[in-house]
Chain A
Amino acid sequence: MRHAESACSVLHVDLDAFFVSVERVLNPRLCGRPVVVGGAAATRGVVAAASYEARQYGIHSAMPMAQAMRLCPHLIRVPGQHKMYARASKAVFDLLGGYTPVLEKVSVDEAYLDLRGTEHLFGRAVDAAERMRREVKERLRLDLTVGVSRNRLVSKVASGFAKPHGLFDVRPGQEPRFFAPLPVKVLPGIGPVTQKKLRDFHIDDLGTLATTESWFLQEVFGRYGPIMKRRARGEDATPVCPAWGKPVRKSIGQERTFAEDTHDAVVLRGRLQAMLEETCARLRREGWLARTMSLKVRYADFTTETRDVRLPHPSDHDLEWWQAACALLEKALRRRTLIRLLGVRFSGLQRGFWQGGLFEEERIAQRSRLTVLDRMREKYGAQAVCAGDRLWLYKSP
């Protein structure tokens, strides 16, 4: 099968020896010498970052400074200026953000970028990566190592392969072959304990791991076993998730316990409508669209049932959820047991705002009314405007 080159669009970028590189930009006399950033040995400081020259002496980050000094007596230590590193990091990622909005920063010196859809602007991902490296070097005098492939996992391993200051692109379709000879420790998520366990079974490289029977891995490592096997073949479907696309919430909802258990459909529908209105208003206020709604019902005998419904498109509009919510309530009422609690919860949240189609005049008009109602409720309270059939909900006893 011929593999599409265009499918290679995920980049893992890593700033080489970042803290040291920034120090060298500020003080070029540090170039070419063994340098570490970290706390003083006298105050039990540790190495936060080491230059490649220092690493040749066996010095690495998190090593006690006293030990590093013993390994390399002429080691240069600089205390570190974290505000400066943060500024440099921002400058780099602002520059990279000019290539794609789908940039997921994972640390001060590391990020994933998805370049899908940018081919017309920057050409192939590998060419764009080359240009990024050049630009970062010329404008900020920092070295960028880049891994390019079809997914995050392979790009991450590829950038490790390219260090220092290289670019490694894994040809599409060659992921299992690229991984096969590598030691299991290069796979993110395989720590010393898992490594030891794998070694006990003579699984030393990813090729062996990828061809080990799933049932066996499941037996030894549980649920993670088969996942590990897929990853050993270079398979990873995790999307690059920029900060603006990351749900900080998993769900939004509310529930109410009735003062008295009830089976009155009018009361229950009224309460459901109120909860839907309030929760959807919250979705709109916070800029979320929901894909799934769950209705929670607790009966008088304390048994609890939860039913889910999904809309074909994510929505924050209570009227769009209303029919589906009523259908769920009807099912709950079939049990002929008094209801003690009713709850509504929206999940499958994604960032976004409702956008009307060109020919959806009615929906657009409905949306305008909703916006006005939201403003009125914000100003005068949730009870200021409500459907006539549930006015009683807000009446004082």
Chain B
Amino acid sequence: MLEEVELDGQAGQFAGGKHTFFLALRGEAAADDEHFQEGDIFAVTEGVDVEVGDLVVWWTGVVRTLALARVEEDLSFRGVGGFPAPTPNLSAKVRGVVVGRLRPLAPGAMAES
């Protein structure tokens, strides 16, 4: 599940609310080429053209439910990290393109610091 979050570090200061927003990955991600981890925060840019190879965030059609997909050569969407791909009868509406990923230090280690 992807949950919109606000960052209070420099990332939030620089990009928050200005075409870039952040989505945190909740729950365990399926093991695949993307190597996502629970807690990963994706920086997503909206309002840009989607290109082949991009990792995109799209509306699943369910209220407030977003999913991640990789854009394939034929411009179809391949579900990644355990997220499903859009079904043929569902037109995927892209919310934005993932430009980067923030991985905070593991919670245990954070507590020590």
Evaluate whether A163 and B10 lie within 8 angstroms (CB atoms) in the complex, with A171-B55, A180-B19 already known.
yes
Q: Are A137 and B101 in contact (CB under 8 A)?
A: no
Stretch of B24-32, B59-67, B80-88, B104-112 at the chain-chain interface: B104-112
User: Which of A137, A161, A168 is B105 in contact with, Cβ under 8 Å?
Assistant: A137
CB-CB under 8 A from B92, the residues of chain A are none
Cα-based distance from A215 to B101 in the complex (angstroms): 35
User: Which of A2, A134, A169 is B100 in contact with, Cβ under 8 Å?
Assistant: A169
Count residues of B near A (Cβ-Cβ below 8 Å).
32
Chain A interface size range: 35 or more
Q: Are B113 and A165 in contact (CB under 8 A)?
A: yes
Q: How far is the CB of A20 from chain B (nearest CB, A)?
A: 11
Q: Are A173 and B53 in contact (CB under 8 A)?
A: yes
Cα-based distance from A317 to B20 in the complex (angstroms): 56
Interface residues of A in 1-36 (CB under 8 A from B): 1-3, 31
B interface residues, Cβ below 8 angstroms from A: 9-11, 14-15, 18-20, 35, 43, 45, 48, 51-55, 73, 97-106, 109-110, 112-113
Count of CB-CB pairs between chains A and B under 8 Å? 97
Supplied contacts A174-B100, A177-B45, 12 more A-B pairs, CB within 8 Å: A1-B52, A1-B53, A133-B105, A137-B113, A161-B43, A163-B10, A165-B105, A166-B105, A167-B104, A169-B100, A171-B55, A178-B43
Quick one: which of A124, A164, A177, A205 has the most chain B CB within 10 A? A177
Q: How far is the CB of B70 from chain A (nearest CB, A)?
A: 9
Q: Are B100 and A181 in contact (CB under 8 A)?
A: no
Q: Are A183 and B99 in contact (CB under 8 A)?
A: no
Cα-based distance from A181 to B106 in the complex (angstroms): 28
CB-CB under 8 A from B43, the residues of chain A are 161, 168, 178
CB-CB under 8 A from A373, the residues of chain B are none
Q: Are A127 and B52 in contact (CB under 8 A)?
A: no
Evaluate whether A181 and B11 lie within 8 angstroms (CB atoms) in the complex, with A167-B103, A171-B99 already known.
no
Secondary structure at the A interface, as helix, strand, loop or mixed, is mixed
Q: Are A170 and B99 in contact (CB under 8 A)?
A: yes
Q: How far is the CB of B107 from chain A (nearest CB, A)?
A: 12
Q: Are A169 and B101 in contact (CB under 8 A)?
A: yes
> Can you list 27 pairs linking A and B with CB atoms under 8 Å apart?
A2-B73, A126-B35, A127-B35, A137-B112, A161-B9, A161-B14, A161-B102, A165-B113, A167-B103, A168-B43, A168-B100, A168-B101, A168-B103, A169-B103, A170-B99, A171-B98, A171-B100, A173-B51, A174-B98, A174-B100, A177-B45, A178-B43, A178-B45, A178-B100, A181-B15, A181-B18, A182-B15
Cα-based distance from A180 to B55 in the complex (angstroms): 17
Q: Nearest CB to that of A173 among chain B residues? A: B53
Evaluate whether A171 and B101 lie within 8 angstroms (CB atoms) in the complex, with A1-B53, A181-B15, A182-B15 already known.
yes
CB-CB under 8 A from B113, the residues of chain A are 31, 137, 143, 165
Cα-based distance from A331 to B104 in the complex (angstroms): 64
CB-CB under 8 A from B48, the residues of chain A are 177, 180
Cα-based distance from A161 to B55 in the complex (angstroms): 20
CB-CB under 8 A from A166, the residues of chain B are 9, 102-105
Q: Are A158 and B9 in contact (CB under 8 A)?
A: no
A308 within 8 A of B: no
